[in-house]
Amino acid sequence: MKKRILVSQIIALAAILIAKPDSWKLFAAGMCFMLPGAVIRALASSAIVKARTLTVTGPYAAVRNPLYLGTAFMVLGLLVSLSNPQAPLRTGVVWLITAVSFTLIYRVQIKAEEEFLFAAYGEEFVRYKSRVNAILPRPAAVPGFFDRSAYSWETFRRNKEWRGFLGMTAIAAIVAARIKYGL
């Protein structure tokens, strides 16, 4: 397992344990972020052919790091679902630690990946980088998400993104149980 994934899982677990979620409305609102995040990640993982080519189609035509964009939505959804208006200090601490941790982890990861991509693809990557944003897609580029030819079920299966969806489902179930049983 990659170190950043393990660290991310530990941070998410700590956030879940520290928080005192108590609102079904906030849980539902959180799911409204988590589900699109999972879809973005699924699309990205069914389009990227790792270490063989510079993927610039599908979601990669709209944003250089759609996997991390999806992760950002999922983390935001988790934080919303863990929020408790009756415990603002606890909620603020959870948000601060989680947001800062994930920002640092993914800034370092994106930098390392971009160095690798530049070394592997040179000017092709420089041109790609100049026209496609790192995390926030340009509105004009969003139609790239809908290029069906960019996606492959075999690629999705090989990249094992289904594990992320199962993880998100487990996290949602844990948060729901904490709300239902006051844990």
Which pLDDT tens digit goes with each residue over 110-142? 999 999 999 999 999 999 999 999 999 988 888
- Contact, 30 vs 73, CB < 8 A? no
Distance CA 111, CA 29 (A): 32
Domain range list for the chain: 3-181
| Residue entry with tokens 């990227």 | 48
Class of 3-181 in CATH: mainly alpha
pLDDT reading at 51 higher than 80? no
Distance CA 172, CA 56 (A): 32
Which amino acid makes up residue 66? P
- Contact, 94 vs 15, CB < 8 A? yes
Residues in the chain, how many? 183
pLDDT reading at 1 higher than 80? no
pLDDT reading at 52 higher than 80? no
What is the reported pTM? 0.89
Q: In whole angstroms, what separates CA 86 from the centre of its chain?
A: 28
